């Protein structure tokens, strides 16, 4: 798709307090159940003999998962701490004899990468397990260099080939990246070593065949689905689970709502309106794209909507004087133009002189709204006044559908100018106000999927005190790829998710 938003979000996640504290290990289970393999994302040192068996469902018909047959399998699972459950990863091995790595099972990317023993000039490499090709009897040299963008930098390495063990599945001749340079010191905070991408081959760097594809091609997967359950219960033992080849019926209630993949590459679907306490936020009333991404902890979306969320939950946002000055100097003119209907709202800001008309025909680039810069750091031709003017026009239009009181609407929009998402990604909220915050709902497949404030606010206990963060960050992708949402672990923790590779669809059901 040509966009690096995935890696921008990963970079933002690394800067968040809650992201660097989890340490999980993954235990494999018996894979004799018709090509079904189950992972338990867990912390260490739980007496596994005290755990009861879980029922695993194998899809007897890829189009009718509701008629699946149950089989028994005993998992290895351990509990999570209640404030450290925003990142999930498990253990795999590479090579012969096996070398072990903690990796994120990431549906937002497609490559497998781990640090290399040849990574000697990057400090983060010394804090993670490193792959040593010289001690593996099954290693095959490839050597082609690769570059993976992360945030405003990149990690670098080269491709190699070896056996990879994921649970009890041993994938032969798997190509992966050995990372030799981890540019960002933020990677020091990670407790996992690398990433195992579960996205489509279309977005694989170097056109490498992903691990999931090789599982299928080498005959390990009976049904071409995998499912993900992330446990958000702070007192539960199980931290999370990924099942290759089926679903675990213990971990959801009711039936899954399935929606088709809208654009192959990412696990991307169409979503409808995003509601704040049953009130429309406006932007996605028709449709927006959304990527289901287990590799980030937050939910990312357009600034115009995230700002409304920040206001509703009392988040400490970024105050823009440019935004406020437009309201004070041009608010009446914008209001009159919208009420009269004489100007096309889409080009209103150009007509009042805050944007150029060329702006609406410019090339598709991702911009960060607050600084109006491209991802490569170059400055956009348009001034911040243009960006903020477009947002103000949109916000007024949304409010006009609910009220026609001018003073009330302009006051609300002025307050939105004080609640813009932080450039660092983190927004603080009052822990004592969580109960009064609104539910936020996504419309998927004509159904509402709500999140309570207890689910979208991340609470970090620091001794006798608590710090709370809103779980929404800004990401702006222009048409035709956008507007775009990225549904990360906050959403996936609420909803058990089935990734149906065979039918090119995704299913959601309330997690149990």
Task: Decide if pLDDT at 31 tops 50.
Answer: no
Closest by alpha carbon to 496, among 310, 295, 253?
A: 253
Between 56-65, 199-208, 305-314, the lowest mean confidence (pLDDT) is in 56-65
Instruction: Give the full edge-to-edge strand order of the sheet including 279-280.
Output: 279-280, 274-276, 440-444, 447-451
- Per-residue pLDDT band for 399 (boundaries 50, 70, 90) equals very high
Residue 184: the pLDDT is 63
Q: Say which residue, 378 or 452, is predicted with more confidence.
A: 452
Pairing between β-strand 484-487 and β-strand 288-292 as defined by DSSP bridges: parallel
Q: Say which residue, 370 or 329, is predicted with more confidence.
A: 329
Q: Are 90 and 29 in contact (CB under 8 A)?
A: no
Q: Is the peptide bond before 123 cis (omega within 30 degrees of 0)?
A: no
Q: Look over the chain and give the mean of its residue pLDDT values, rounded to a whole number.
A: 80
Q: What is the average pLDDT across 299-313?
A: 96
* 259-285 tens-digit pLDDT: 999 998 899 999 999 999 999 999 999
Q: Say which residue, 256 or 35, is predicted with more confidence.
A: 256
Between 229-238, 248-257, 444-453, the lowest mean confidence (pLDDT) is in 229-238
Of the candidate CATH numbers 2.40.30.30, 3.30.1360.170, 3.40.50.1370, 2.40.70.10, the domain formed by 37-58+77-230 belongs to 2.40.70.10
Q: How far apart, in whole angstroms, are the C-alpha atoms of residue 452 and residue 234?
A: 16
Does the annotation count 430 as an active-site position? no
Highest mean pLDDT among 146-160, 302-316, 458-472: 302-316
Q: Say which residue, 487 or 67, is predicted with more confidence.
A: 487
Residue 110: the pLDDT is 94
CA–CA distance from 179 to each of 7, 117, 128, 146 (Å)? 16, 9, 11, 9
Q: Where in the chain is the domain with CATH 2.40.70.10?
A: 37-58+77-230
Q: What is the average pLDDT across 28-33?
A: 43
Residue 246: the pLDDT is 86
Catalytic option among 68, 85, 106, 273: 106
Q: Are 36 and 179 in contact (CB under 8 A)?
A: no
Residue 187: the pLDDT is 67
Residue 49: the pLDDT is 32
pTM greater than 0.85: no
The structure tokens listed for 190 are 């990670």
Residue 223 is given by DSSP the state: S
Catalytic option among 85, 293, 372, 489: 293
Does the annotation count 106 as an active-site position? yes
Q: What is the average pLDDT across 117-132?
A: 89
């Amino acid at each position: 798709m040509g966009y690096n938003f995935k890696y921008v979000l990963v970079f933002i996640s690394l800067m968040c307090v809650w992201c660097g504290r989890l340490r999980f290990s993954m235990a494999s289970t018996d894979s004799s159940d018709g090509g079904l393999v189950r992972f338990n994302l867990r912390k260490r040192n739980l007496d596994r003999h005290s755990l009861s068996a879980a029922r695993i469902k194998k899809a007897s018909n890829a189009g009718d998962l509701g008629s699946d047959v149950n089989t028994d399998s005993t998992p290895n699972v351990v509990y999570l701490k209640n404030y450290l459950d925003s990142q999930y990863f498990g253990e795999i091995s590479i090579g012969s004899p096996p070398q072990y790595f903690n990796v994120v099972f990431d549906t937002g990317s497609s490559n497998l990468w781990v640090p290399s023993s040849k990574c000697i000039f990057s400090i983060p490499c010394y804090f993670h397990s490193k792959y040593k090709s010289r001690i593996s009897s099954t290693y095959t040299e490839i050597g082609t260099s690769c570059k993976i963008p992360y945030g405003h930098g990149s990690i670098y390495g080269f491709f190699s080939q070896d056996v990879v063990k994921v649970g009890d599945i041993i994938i032969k001749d798997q190509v992966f990246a050995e990372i030799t340079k981890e540019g960002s010191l933020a990677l020091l905070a990670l407790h996992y070593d690398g990433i195992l991408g579960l996205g489509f081959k279309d977005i694989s760097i170097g056109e490498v065949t992903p691990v999931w594809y090789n599982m299928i091609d080498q005959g390990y997967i009976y049904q071409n689905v995998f499912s993900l359950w992330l446990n958000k219960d702070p007192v539960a033992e199980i931290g999370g689970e990924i099942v290759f080849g089926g679903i675990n019926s213990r971990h959801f209630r009711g039936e899954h709502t399935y929606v088709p993949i809208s654009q192959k590459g990412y696990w991307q679907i169409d979503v409808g309106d995003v509601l704040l306490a049953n009130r429309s936020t406006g932007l996605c009333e028709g449709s927006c794209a959304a990527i289901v991404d287990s590799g980030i902890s937050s939910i990312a979306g357009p600034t115009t909507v995230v700002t409304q969320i920040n206001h509703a939950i009392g988040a400490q946002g970024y105050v823009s004087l440019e935004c406020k000055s437009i309201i004070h100097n041009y608010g009446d003119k914008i209001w009159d133009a919208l009420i009269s209907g004489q100007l096309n709202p889409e080009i209103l800001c150009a007509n009042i002189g805050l944007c150029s008309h060329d702006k609406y025909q410019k090339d598709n680039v991702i911009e960060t709204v607050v600084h109006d810069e491209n991802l490569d750091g170059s400055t956009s031709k348009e001034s911040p006044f243009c960006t903020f003017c477009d947002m103000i026009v949109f916000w007024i239009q949304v409010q006009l559908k609910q009220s026609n009181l001018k003073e009330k609407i302009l006051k609300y929009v002025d307050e939105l100018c004080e609640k813009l998402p932080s450039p660092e990604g983190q927004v603080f909220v009052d822990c004592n106000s969580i109960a009064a915050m609104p539910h936020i709902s996504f419309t998927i497949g004509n159904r509402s999927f709500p999140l309570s404030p207890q689910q979208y606010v991340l609470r970090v206990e620091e001794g006798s005190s608590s710090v709370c963060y809103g779980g929404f960050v800004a990401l702006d992708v222009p048409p035709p790829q956008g507007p775009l949402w990225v549904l990360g672990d906050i959403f996936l923790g609420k909803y058990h998710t089935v990734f149906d590779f065979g039918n090119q669809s995704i299913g959601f059901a309330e997690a149990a």
